[in-house]
Amino acid sequence: MALGNLTSKAVSLYDEWIKDADPRVEGYPLMASPFPQTMIIAAYIYFVTYLGPKFMENKKPFDLRQLMVLYNFGVVALSIYMTYEFLMSGWATGYSYRCDIVDYSRSPMALRMVRVCWLYYFSKFIELLDTVFFVLRKKNGQVTFLHVFHHSIMPWTWWFGVKFAPGGLGTFHGMINAIVHVIMYTYYALSSLGPSFHKYLWWKKHMTSIQLIQFIMVTCHIGQIYFMDNCPYQYPIFMFIIGLYGLVFLILFLHFWYHAYTKGKRPPKSIKNGISKNKAE
């Protein structure tokens, strides 16, 4: 009886909470509730941390070069498109880069922002293939806690952003991340083409700098809200989560930078494998 009452109360609280969701995302795949995506992410974690390595234990690594070329260039194309859509739905057409609130209207511009927010969210599931490819190629050293956590937490948290606040301040880091992905996945695509293309990858040394700049921009942009008077952004909790995420990764990248370049020493293995292979997502 007590369990039944507890379940009933939980369902009631969920119904009360979900009624404030943005009705414009009704009908979008995976947006009905957070449970389908939670199951997908749980299956991903189980596969890349246990089932996949177990399956590959006595097998030769798969040769996925051609598939990875298509995949990486595909992510580049998708990232270019998302960057353009973020810009044209607000960031280059009216946003102030300060107190930009969510436009909940059904204007063409507002609906365009909703669409690109959902597409960015969905792209995070596509990027789970990064880790799957690591497992199938038996690159298990690159499947670190940080890598798996990062790939898992991004789609899960973005569901709430799209469901309740698809627009405004909270989309800046998505746009910046899409821009960074154009650069990062271009590098990985060229790298996967083989040694004959490695001479075009002279800019590899700037990858960490690009990642650092990304997190500095995200942290500074979100941090503005705490210094603005009466900014009526609808969900301040999202700003705290984005700011915390940006700050944590900024610290980790600065740690990597210090050991790799300032001290002139090889960075700790956990940092090198966990972050530099993380594609800065």
What ranges do the domains of the chain cover? 64-276
pLDDT at 155 over 50: yes
Decide if 232 contacts 211 (C-beta within 8 A): no
pLDDT at 135 over 90: yes
The reported pLDDT for the residue numbered 129 is 97
The reported pLDDT for the residue numbered 100 is 96
Say what percent of the chain tops pLDDT 70. 88
The Cα angle at residue 252 between residues 261 and 44, in degrees rounded to 5? 125
Please tell me the pTM assigned to this model. Answer: 0.88
Decide if 165 contacts 238 (C-beta within 8 A): yes
Residue 2 to residue 134: CA distance in whole angstroms: 46
The pLDDT tens digits for 260-272 are 666 655 544 444 4
Give the largest Cα separation in the chain, rounded: 69
CB atoms within 10 A of CB 15: 9
Specify the DSSP class assigned to residue 277. T
pLDDT at 233 over 80: yes
In this prediction, residue 186 has a pLDDT band, given cuts at 50, 70 and 90, of very high
In this prediction, residue 19 has a pLDDT band, given cuts at 50, 70 and 90, of confident
Decide if 86 contacts 116 (C-beta within 8 A): yes
The reported pLDDT for the residue numbered 253 is 73
The pLDDT tens digits for 75-94 are 999 999 999 999 999 999 99
Of 180, 173, 184, nearest to 247 by C-alpha is 173
Of 161, 129, 163, 166, nearest to 245 by C-alpha is 161
Per-position DSSP letters for 17-29, written without gaps between them? HHTTS-GGGTTST
Could you give phi then psi for residue 233, rounded to 5 degrees? Answer: -60, 135
Per-position DSSP letters for 125-176, written without gaps between them? HHTTHHHHHHHHTT-GGG--HHHHHHHHHHHHHHHHHHHH--SGGGGHHHHH
Q: Among residues 150, 173, 181, 221, which one is catalytic?
A: 150
Residue 161 to residue 196: CA distance in whole angstroms: 42
Give the Å distances, CA to CA, from 91 to 33, 170, 184, 237: 28, 12, 22, 21
Give the Å distances, CA to CA, from 49 to 133, 140, 148, 173: 13, 9, 9, 28
Q: At what angle do helices 207-223 and 172-192 cross, to 10 degrees?
A: 170
**198 is annotated as an active-site residue:** no
